[in-house]
Amino acid sequence: MELNVIEQTKKKLIVEIKGADHTFCNALKKELWNDKAVTVSAYNIDHPLVGIPKFIVETDGNKSPEKALEAACDRLEKKNKEFLSKFKRTASK
């Protein structure tokens, strides 16, 4: 995945996530809503086949949007590792 910053302010970040699709963007959007500092978490893909997702994150100012995005990605990574571990234990039975 490649990130291209479109707009960046103290409370708002808009990035293109080249190589991502609805699966990743939906998971990230939902995980960002678990952060109390996040006031906007959304994305848009202009064309379903060739569009590059544009992700928007806004915060209340208590945390930068970059920090909120990084923390959400870290939480998703942890959840995925836990899922994989449980899946491997179940599959090996």
Q: What average pLDDT does range 45-49 have in this prediction?
A: 85
pLDDT single digits (tens) 5-19: 999 999 999 999 999
Q: What average pLDDT does range 57-75 have in this prediction?
A: 97
CA distance 69 to 66: 5
Domain residue spans in the chain? Answer: 2-91
Residue 15 CA, distance from chain mean position: 10
pTM of the model: 0.88
The yes or no reply on domain 2-91 and CATH 3.30.1360.10 is yes
* 21 secondary structure, DSSP code: -
Please, which pLDDT band fits residue 52 given cuts at 50, 70 and 90?
A: very high
